[in-house]
Amino acid sequence: MTDGKWINTPGAGGELLSNGDFGNWTAGLPNGWEYYNYLDGTRYVEQSGDGCRIIVLNAVLGLRQGITLPGKWYRVSVNVVSVASGSLVIYVSGNLIYNSPNTGLVLRTARGIATTWFYAAFNSATSDVTIDNVSVRQIPLSDLLSLYIPTAPDVSFGADLTVVSGTQAGLALNWDSSSSPANGVIAYIDGDKVKLEKCVAGVWTTVITAPVTYSANARLSVSKTGTQYQLHYNGAPVGSANTISDVGIVNNTRHGLFSTYEGNILDNCDLV
């Protein structure tokens, strides 16, 4: 922590996708990719320049690879070349992370919640989308957390947050380790929601998800006393106090920053 600012640069691992640039095709199909549903005259793919065009006519087609795991965090980027109709829909391990008709570079970070499937496109109804340069990389939990030197288990902790759209940032409390974290709590901004989640032996549970009106540089704070965690965002309480009583968490003394992207800003941090 320098001058009240936490600095975190989460690193991503190696590329998980095969043929994410759609450079290799066999018999008119991109190598390495599988399909949810089947290919016929109402749903099909074709090579389009350097990318992959997915066409759906009143049907459903998913373009996927089995590379993700529940409970792990990922950084996803996709170049949306064109959207002639409908929207591009992207899932990471059962987590819907994108649904939009916009073109351009898409960057998202997210945690897998179920299944091993990454869907670069899950198109339904009628849609005509072309994508290229798809990338999926896992972010180690230890890189997402920037933990301060051990203090007391009961703390009041706050920071002013500016969070890049599609990514997450907030506060980390009561973690057991900086190098191999497995038990602890995060409170963070995720779009138009504030979330409080616990991790027990690497398994995540969402304690609260509350809608908020996001505002750049608004303050998120958590007061933890015993087994009670009370959140405030932009000066207003987020629900009532929530109980987290797991023995592997409540007495841990490492606290700090949680951020999935280096462009997120946490300023005026106050840990007491």
For the stretch 196-212, pLDDT in tens is 999 999 999 999 999 99
Q: Which of these ranges, 9-13, 246-250, 251-255, has the smallest mean pLDDT?
A: 9-13
Fold match, 25-139 / 141-271 = yes
Q: What is the pLDDT of residue 7?
A: 59
What is 25-139's CATH number, 3.40.220.10, 2.60.120.260, 3.40.630.40, 3.40.50.150? 2.60.120.260
Closest Cα partner for 53 from 89, 32, 23, 83?
83
Architecture of domain 141-271: Sandwich (2.60)
- The partner residues of 161 in beta bridges, in order of sequence, read 218, 266
Mean pLDDT of the chain: 93
What DSSP state is assigned to residue 261? S
pLDDT of 116 above 60: yes
Tens digit of each residue's pLDDT (9 = 90 or more) over 1-33: 545 566 577 777 899 999 999 999 999 899 999
Q: What is the pLDDT of residue 150?
A: 79
Cα 113 from Cα 152, distance rounded (Å)? 32
Total-model pTM: 0.93
Question: Rounded mean pLDDT of 44-73?
Answer: 94
Q: What is the pLDDT of residue 68?
A: 95
Question: Rounded mean pLDDT of 212-220?
Answer: 97
Q: What is the pLDDT of residue 149?
A: 77
Q: What is the pLDDT of residue 70?
A: 94
Cβ of 236: how many Cβ atoms within 10 Å? 10
In angstroms, the Cα distances linking 144 to 1, 95, 179 are 15, 19, 11
Q: Which amino acid does the sequence have at 18? A: S
Q: 73-85 and 88-92: which strand pairing?
A: unpaired
Question: Any idea where the domains of the chain sit in the sequence?
Answer: 25-139, 141-271
Cβ of 95: how many Cβ atoms within 10 Å? 17
pLDDT band at 239; cut points 50, 70, 90:
confident
pLDDT band at 105; cut points 50, 70, 90:
very high
